Every structure is written in structure tokens, then in C-alpha cells.
Structure 1
Amino acid sequence: MAQGRVVRFDDIRGYGFIIPDEGGEDVFMHANDLLDDKHLYQPGAVVEFDVTEGERGPKASLVSVVRKGSGSDESGPVAASSSRAESSAGGVVEDGLCDVLSPREFRVELTETLLDGVPSLTAAQILQVRQGVERLARGHGWLAS
């Protein structure tokens, strides 16, 4: 079983994403694969899960909550990304330089932006857009190594 943190879970649409502790691509999770009440799958919640390869990338199954999230876990990557975004206007910090994100921070920021901007996107569409944008960002050196 793998462990990770919930990045986002939409209990109305019934899906979300997990950032695995061992790194790598975010893992898609669906309400049908949750072993606990779906209201427990808040951002920052630590979960255990099995990973299978879905049609569009990694997919979680047998997902269970190890530790509840508060939705504002200050120590997690979601909170770190959000506080960085709030402290820099449009990605430009006070010294005029561009804010370079780690690949994990970039995926979190991009996923949140896609879900906020176009709530009707499916998980498969989000993964497809995210992969294309990540390739673009890497090509321009916008992501830290």
C-alpha cells in the first residue's frame, strides 16, 4: 500500500487527487474506491491506497484515511503552494524574478487552477491538459529540477 496526501476531493463529482509520499505523478481517486465516508477526504488528509494504472494515468483503489486533514494543513505542499501564490502577485515576486516551482508544487497549482476555472472538466481532461502544460513548462525552464 502507498501513502499520500489528498490534494483535492470534490464529493459532489466524486473524484479527486492524491500526492503520493514517494513522489511521482498525482494519483486520481474516485468515490467508488473510498473505504471511508467521503467527507473525510479533505485536503491534507493522509491516506493509504493501492495504485493501478488507469487509462489516463495512476488510479487509487482501496483508499482509506490514515489521518484526517484540516483543509488547511500548513505543513503540506498544498498550503505551501497557496501561501507562495498569495505572496507573489501573478507569479512575480518583488525583485521582478519569476517564481520557479517544484514539479509537485506546479501540479498542485495547475490542478487547482483547472478545477476552479472549469469545474466541468473530467479527471481525464485535467490529466491530459496538465501533462501538456508540464511539458511546456519544462521546455521553458519554469520548473525546478
Structure 2
Amino acid sequence: NATGRILCMYDYVRPPVNALLPITPDAVREGTFGKLHMRILKCEGLLATSGSSNPFVRVTCCGRYTKFLETSKQYRTINPYFDEWLGFDIQERHFNVRVEVFACDPLKLVNDLSLGWIWFTIPDCNRVLHMGAWELQTNPCNRSRRMAT
């Protein structure tokens, strides 16, 4: 269904935006305070197979956090490509990240087709991690990750 791969480049810990604010018991209970990891991905040559669509990436962490990272341009071709660097912040308490690539029609604002997904874990340490590339998994029942060649 899809071609291309996602390169997981590196992960590092950075202080939260509200690091200078006092920590309240409510913030600790609600889980709003904590270190943020910055995850950098390179989406390389991902090809949407549905016509007149704009492929974009949806990032979810354990099903509780969702962020949409769209392409910088609206592609109106039969085979739009997604080939960009992506960066997103996640809370330290989330252990797994699911990265999904969808073909989306920007006029209808709906998902036409799931092009694939990958899983990777977020270690709680401050160093370079996870060098390599993962193939998009096109079978939603198979959650194993494979190193791309």
C-alpha cells in the first residue's frame, strides 16, 4: 500500500515549558508536570497511493496523546510524496509511541487510507538513541517492528 520509510533519528530530554513555575500537588496528581522528550523523525519518500491527497503523520502515545504533523505543502497530484523532518514533544510518562501515516483529502478533512505505522519505545535517559530506519507496517494486526534495509 505504501512505499518509503521512517527514520528515527534521536531522542533527548528537555525541560518542560512551565519548568520555572512552582509545582503544585494538583499538577503532580494530574500528571501535567514532567520532563518532555523531543523526538525527531525523518519521513523519507513516503508515497500516498490515493489520488489528490495530502499524506500526513499522526502521533499517538499509549492512546492518550495525539498530534497531527502535516506536510508543509498541499499536494494535489496522483502520487503525493511525504519527505520531511518532524519534531514533537511527549511526556516522560508515555512509554510507547505509535506513528501512523495516512493519506488525507484536505478538502474533505477525512482519512482516506492508512499507509502504515511503526512502534518504538521512549527510554527515560538523556542520550542519543534509536538510530536506524523502520519499515511501515501495513498489517494492523502485526505490531512487530522491522529494521529497514
Task: Give the structure-2-normalised TM-score.
Answer: 0.24
Q: Max radius of gyration: which structure?
A: 2
**Higher RCO, 1 vs 2 (CA within 8 Å, ≥6 residues apart):** 2
Higher share in helix: 1
Higher share in strand: 2
Task: Give the structure-1-normalised TM-score.
Answer: 0.25
